[in-house]
Amino acid sequence: MGVIENLLAVIVVLGLLITFHEFGHFWVARRCGVKVLRFSVGFGKPLWSRFDRHGTEFAVAAIPLGGYVKMLDEREGPVAPEEQAHAFNRKSVWARIAIVSAGPLANFLLAFVAYWALFIYGTATVAPVIGDVTPDSPAAQGGLQRGQEIVAVQGEPTPSWGEVNLKLVAAIGADGTLDVTTRTSEGATPTQHRVPVNDWLVRQNPPQPLASLGVTPWRPELPAVLGEVLDDGRAHQAGLQRGDRIVSVDGVAVDDWMAFVERVRANPETPLTLQVTRDGERREITLTPAVREQEDGSTIGYIGAGVQPSEWPERYRREIRYGPLDAVGEAVAKTGEMSLLTLDSIRKMLVGLISPSNLSGPVTIARIAGDSARDGVESFISFLAYLSISLGVLNLLPIPVLDGGHLVYYIIEAVRGRPVPEAVQAFGLRVGIALVGSLMLMALYFDLMRL
């Protein structure tokens, strides 16, 4: 079911983003008097189509990995004299700039609307309180301590661990220090820390900001109680059930869930004798963890069971919610922040600060789309907004074949007073196709490597 859910999620996400992007081109083209021949979501043979009163064909095609708006254009075929005024190539350079820009701008608008709705709906999160600090780590050298709440990184507020990670990732490549602000309790005077870093997160794949900083988030204690038992796992085969509390393993007392996990991971295909309490009675169960291979080639034990979640204390819970007007400003700020982060990440990848292996293709997008959908509305909308921003930024890159490449040609035309020569545009098109094709193959390769 996971694969099917991922496929459905990515079809919904990409379908929505592509439709919105192409609708931007379509809407502005119509307002500029350009005749639109086809509005297609997907490539290949149409699975469904219909014509409107303006003669535009709306189609849904078989390959849901893109889309396009085909406009009347004398460069693509003969145009009847009575329709030449409605051809794209006959419009002013400013009209063409507006039409080409409209697609990426529509993606930014979609992200803004998504964030605005999310801020009004409200997001539940937990305070970024430090659970532990690794000795001699950058965090320890900067004076961070257990129990402190991180309220800002580089002067930017961090109401959640997600925001902490975001601000730390935005600082990739930093040399010197990171400014981290903490407080010991709500209302307490903030403390400034200067955390020493050197080539911060450079070429990490994937970046692990908290681990590199030496910080472990605080979490409530997790008793060794099973909250989930998979039907095809070793835990189920051994007779373990939801609600079972693990008391000891091979006669050694188990203090919490992580202690039990460590024993399981360290003993693949090794029989373990568990003392378990169920309905007030103690039972003895023999459990043999299965083997799971890690990316580095090592093996760990795995039983197909999860922990029963614990409630977070009220003082650590946070809800981020704004009124409709305040949410407008917050959504604009969030859209701008994520757009700049995406653009900066591309720059850092080009100069070698970020490994190209962090590129993601359709497989990774499908997995994350499925995971975010399963995690709930907040997670799915956040992912949708970020992917929409990424699509908008990537389409504005000055690469021929992308919207940004066309914009470069039209801006040059506006400055020179005449179009860029057809031979130059044709050469640029070949270069653009090669670049985009290479990037797509790289992303797919890294996707498969992650599998």
Which residues belong to the active site?
A: 22
Query: Please, what is the Cα angle at 372 between 152 and 119, to 5 degrees?
Result: 50
Question: Cα–Cα distances in Å, from 32 out to 320, 331, 409?
Answer: 41, 29, 19
Contact between 389 and 382 under an 8 Å Cβ cutoff? The reply is no
CA atoms within 13 A on the CB side of 239: 11
Q: What's the CA gap between 291 and 446, in Å, rounded?
A: 25
E-strand ranges in 213-261 read 215-217, 226-229, 245-249, 252-253
In the chain, % helix, strand, coil (3-state, to 5) comes to 45, 25, 30
Contact by Cβ (8 Å): 290, 302: yes
The C-alpha atoms of residue 343 and residue 214 are separated, in whole angstroms, by: 28
Helix (H, G, I), strand (E, B) or coil at 249: strand
| Contact predicate 49/58, CB 8 Å | yes
Measured N-to-C along each axis, helices 403-416 and 422-450 cross at an angle, to the nearest 10 degrees, of 160
Which two three-digit tokens encode residue 333? 């700020």
CB 54 within 8 A of CB 61: no
Residues 6+ apart with CB under 8 A from 110: 16, 17, 20, 384, 385, 388
- Let me know: does 133 contact 222? Beta carbons within 8 Å: no
